[in-house]
Structure 1
Amino acid sequence: MTNAAALIRETFPVGPLQCNCTIIGDPVSKKALVIDPGGDHQLILDRLDALGLKVVSIIHTHAHLDHFLASGEMKKATGATLHLHKEDQFLWDNLEMQCKLFGVPYVPVPAPDHWLSDDEELACGCGVALHTPGHTPGSMSFWFPQDKLLIAGDTLFRGGIGRTDLWGGDYRQIEKSIRERLYRLDEEAVVVTGHGADTRLGDEMRSNPFIRA
């Protein structure tokens, strides 16, 4: 970020499983990140146009089908690069199997361009990637400290946590990720979850029925 202006942020549900897709834009450079384009690529493109933003990176909290179904079409339309944690490559590579299992039409998606790493600075210089495994081995959260904004994917929900009974899920890992990474961030932070309503980090720390600080 080149100044202290608040980031542009818009979150809306997309795709067959209504995953929350988030656009994060730098108000100065007009460069943007798209997080978890799980479907409805034209809707996402229309919102970017309406906001006057150019997407430079398409980043993923994890590689369950509902979080990257539109990633290929988004890349084709914008030229933006695809980013994922390496430990979720096996899920990305098995998109067709995931689609069959959930009865969702299969659209091939190209391989990621870049493997995300823990504490990596995101494009636009406005946030950082946190490796928060448990829901999947490569689950990531994205932290924007200036705006006290956390994109938690399917790791933390309002009054819930991500399920750990799917491929590569691990309850002990998700508990550690939430306690040792997410709950150590600013408790005033707004948490954008993978599905459903936003929450506040402090509320989850005190009253989440599954994992409390």
Structure 2
Amino acid sequence: MKWRRMPLGPIGTNAYIISNQQKECLIIDPGSEPSKVFGYIKENQLKPIAILLTHAHYDHIGAVDDVRDMYEIPVYIHKKEQSWLMDPALNLSINLPFGEPIRLKPAEEIISSEGLMSIGSFTFEIFETPGHSPGSISIYFKDENLVFSGDALFEGSIGRTDLPGGNYDVLMKSIHDKLLTLPEETLVLSGHGGETTIQQEMDSNPFLNGF
């Protein structure tokens, strides 16, 4: 399995494209600049089969309809944020100084619980990791030692909790119970910034020190 981190948009939100030997690919959080997503997929002759959203803030969903329509693929989102796709007040795009308010079509697939999920020949585990937002999820590929943490855990930091629906205590519990229990060598691929590992964050993340 291969993955590509692709910072997109004015605040550099990370989209990820995950591909396998069959050239199938999953697209995580296409937040902006769909032409960059299209270009990478064309260059590598990939076949998109789904879009997965770690949560529904504007910077993670802005290019969803463009990508969905281009490849005619389903969108997956947690049930607690399914309505956010259609509501600029909830996805926080209503008063942005750039761009138009985001009103997307509903998601085709709703994630209602944690556990194993298979799409095409990909198998992974969904963790509910709320705190940054109520429906935040992390996507764990055990065999690859990879977790896509959305805006829960970053290199040297954690997600904001001052936005509507955010909760610091809930976020810290999510990180401690769901992410820090993973093998220390697990690579953490976040919604912003560079890669890190569980061990690195346990050792040096100032927000987790002593938790």
Q: 2:66 aligns to what?
A: 73
TM-score, with length taken from structure 1: 0.91
Judging by fraction of residues, say which structure has more helix.
1
**1:151 partnered with 2:148:** yes
Deviation at 1:102, TM superposition (A): 2.1
**1:160 partnered with 2:157:** yes
- Residues 13-52 of structure 1: matches in 2 within 5 Å? 13-27=7-21, 29-52=22-45
One of 89, 101, 113 as aligned partner of 2:108: 113
Range with bigger deviation, 93-102 or 192-201:
93-102
Deviation at 1:96, TM superposition (A): 6.2
Contact 1:188 1:201 (C-alpha < 8 Å) held by counterparts: yes
Deviation at 1:100, TM superposition (A): 3.0
- Residues 156-195 of structure 1: matches in 2 within 5 Å? 156-195=153-192
Which ranges of structure 2 fall in alignment gaps of 5 or more residues?
A: none
Deviation at 1:93, TM superposition (A): 2.7
Contact 1:65 1:99 (C-alpha < 8 Å) held by counterparts: yes
Q: 1:4 aligns to what?
A: none
One of 92, 102, 126 as aligned partner of 2:85: 92
Q: Alignment length, in residue pairs? A: 206
Residues 122-162 of structure 1: CA distance to partner in whole angstroms, max 9, x if unpaired?
41333222111110000011111111111111000111000
Range with bigger deviation, 92-101 or 32-41:
92-101
Which ranges of structure 1 fall in alignment gaps of 5 or more residues?
A: 1-6
Helix, strand or coil at the partner of 1:191:
strand
Could you say what the CA RMSD is over the residues aligned between the two structures, in angstroms? 1.5
Deviation at 1:190, TM superposition (A): 1.1
Helix, strand or coil at the partner of 1:127:
strand
Contact 1:36 1:60 (C-alpha < 8 Å) held by counterparts: yes
